[in-house]
Chain A
Amino acid sequence: MSEVEVYIDQLKRRVIELEKENNLLKEQMEKVASEREEYLQNVSHQLVAPLNAIKWHIENLTGARVGYDRGIKVLRSVYAQATLAVHLAKNFNLMSNLEADHALTKLKEPLQEINLCQLLINLADDFQPLAWDRDIEISVLKDLFEQAPPILAMKPLISQVFSNIIENAVKYSDSKTEIVIEGKYVPSTDSVVVSIRNRGVSLDSNHAKIVFDRGFRSPEAKRKYPAGTGFGLYIARRIIEIHEGTITAGTRNGWTVFEVTLSVKSLKGKARLRAN
Chain B
Amino acid sequence: MQTKTILLIDDEQAFLEPLVDALEFEGYRTLKARTADEALEILKRERVDLVTIDIMLDPGESLKNHVDSHSTGLFLCEEITRKYPQIDAFCISVVSEMRTIRKIESLGIRFLRKGETPLRTVLNMLRSRLTGIAYSSERDRSY
Contact = CB atoms under 8 A, between A and B. Distances in A.
A59 B115 contact: no
Contact of A57 (B17, B56, B115): B17
Interface residues of A, number: 31
Interface string B17-30: 11101100100000
Interface stretch (B44-52, B57-65, B79-87): B57-65
A51 B115 contact: yes
A77 interface: yes
A147 interface: no
Contacts of B120: 59, 63
B119 A55 contact: yes
A63 B143 contact: yes
Interface size class of B (residues with CB under 8 A): 20 to 34
Interface stretch (B7-15, B102-110, B129-137): B7-15
Contacts, number: 89
B140 to A, nearest CB: 11
A74 B14 CA distance: 11
Contacts of B17: 53, 57, 74, 77, 133
Max count, chain A CB within 10 A of own CB: residue among B21, B69, B70, B97: B21
B14 A53 contact: yes
A75 to B, nearest CB: 12
Given A49-B12, A63-B120, A226-B56, A55 B64 contact: no
B22 A65 contact: yes
B2 interface: no
A41 interface: yes
Contacts of B118: 55, 59
Interface in A9-67: 41, 44-45, 48-53, 55-57, 59-60, 62-63, 65-66
Given A55-B115, A223-B59, A226-B70, A60 B14 contact: no
Interface of B: 11-15, 17-19, 21-22, 25, 56-59, 64, 69-70, 72, 94-97, 114-115, 118-120, 143
